[in-house]
Structure 1
Amino acid sequence: MFAHLFATMNDKLDEIKQLYPRVTGDKRDHLNKQLEVLKAMSDSIVEHWLLFEEKLADFYDDLKMQPAQKVSQQSPPYAASAAASKELQASQAEQAADKQMSVPAEAAKEQEEWNFPSDTAFFISKGQGYFKLHMFGHAEDELHKAINLSPDCQLARLFMAMTLMHMQRWVDAEKHFQILISLTDHAKWRAIGYNALGCIQAVHMNLELAEQYFLKAHDADPSFADSLINLKCCKERNGSLSLRFGSAELIR
Structure 2
Amino acid sequence: MFAHLFATMNDKLDEIRRLYPRATGSRRDQLDRQLDTLKEMSDTIVEQWLLFEEKLADFLDQSKTSAAPSIKATAPSKAASEPERSAAHKEAAAAAATTHTAGPSPSSKDGQEEWSLSTEVAIQISKGQGYFKLHMFSHAATELEQAIAMAPDCQLARMFLAMTHMHLQQWNDAQRHFQILISLTNYAKWRAIGYNALGCIQAVGMNLDLAEHYFLKAHDADPSFADSLMNLKCCKERNGQLSLRFGSTELIR
TM-score by length of 1: 0.86
How far 1:51 moved relative to its partner?
2.6
Instruction: Within 5 Å, give how 1:216-235 maps onto structure 2.
Output: 216-235=217-236
- 1-structure distance, mates of 2:7, 2:190: 33
Q: RMSD in angstroms over aligned alpha carbons?
A: 3.0
| Unpaired runs of at least 5, structure 1 | 101-105
The residue aligned with 1:203 is 204
The residue aligned with 2:25 is 25
Moved more, 112-121 or 11-20: 112-121
Conserved? CA contact 1:54–1:82, under 8 Å: no
The residue aligned with 2:163 is 162
- 1-structure distance, mates of 2:83, 2:131: 33
Conserved? CA contact 1:194–1:213, under 8 Å: yes
Instruction: Within 5 Å, give how 1:105-184 maps onto structure 2.
Output: 113-184=114-185
- Relative distance call for 1:99 and 1:174 in structure 2 (3 A) is closer
- Relative distance call for 1:36 and 1:47 in structure 2 (3 A) is same
How far 1:60 moved relative to its partner?
1.4
**Secondary structure at 2:211 match in 1:** helix
Conserved? CA contact 1:199–1:210, under 8 Å: yes
- 1-structure distance, mates of 2:208, 2:249: 23
How far 1:219 moved relative to its partner?
0.7
- Relative distance call for 1:147 and 1:82 in structure 2 (3 A) is farther
Moved more, 164-173 or 20-29: 20-29
- 1-structure distance, mates of 2:150, 2:5: 20
How far 1:125 moved relative to its partner?
0.9
- 2-structure distance, mates of 1:207, 1:120: 38
How far 1:122 moved relative to its partner?
1.1
1:134-167 CA distance string (max 9 Å, x none)? 1001101111121122111111000000001111
- 2-structure distance, mates of 1:137, 1:81: 45
How far 1:83 moved relative to its partner?
5.7
- Relative distance call for 1:98 and 1:181 in structure 2 (3 A) is closer
- Relative distance call for 1:80 and 1:225 in structure 2 (3 A) is farther
Conserved? CA contact 1:53–1:85, under 8 Å: no
How far 1:247 moved relative to its partner?
0.3
- 2-structure distance, mates of 1:164, 1:81: 50
- 1-structure distance, mates of 2:118, 2:146: 12
Amino acid at match of 2:185: T
The residue aligned with 1:16 is 16
The residue aligned with 1:103 is none
**Secondary structure at 1:222 match in 2:** coil
- 1-structure distance, mates of 2:133, 2:124: 14
How far 1:109 moved relative to its partner?
5.7
Moved more, 56-65 or 115-124: 56-65
Conserved? CA contact 2:189–2:222, under 8 Å: yes
Amino acid at match of 1:243: L
- Relative distance call for 1:84 and 1:164 in structure 2 (3 A) is farther
- 2-structure distance, mates of 1:206, 1:159: 25
- 1-structure distance, mates of 2:21, 2:147: 37
- 1-structure distance, mates of 2:130, 2:81: 28
The residue aligned with 1:241 is 242
**Secondary structure at 1:113 match in 2:** coil
- 2-structure distance, mates of 1:219, 1:34: 34
Conserved? CA contact 1:127–1:138, under 8 Å: yes
Q: How many residues align?
A: 245
| Unpaired runs of at least 5, structure 2 | 101-105
Larger RCO (CA under 8 A, 6+ residues apart): 2
- 1-structure distance, mates of 2:83, 2:166: 46
- Relative distance call for 1:50 and 1:183 in structure 2 (3 A) is same
**Secondary structure at 2:241 match in 1:** coil
